[in-house]
Amino acid sequence: MLPAHRKKENWYRDLTRDEAVELLSGREDGTFLCRPSSQPTKHPEGGIHMHTIDIVCDGVKHVKVIM
**Average pLDDT of each block of 10 consecutive residues along the chain (67 residues)?**
63 93 97 91 86 96 92
CA dihedral 21, 57, 13, 25 (to 10 degrees): -30
Give pTM, 2 decimals. 0.80
Residue (of 23, 31, 65) closest to 48 by Cα position: 65
- pLDDT, residue 1, reads 53
Give residue limits of the domains in the chain: 6-58
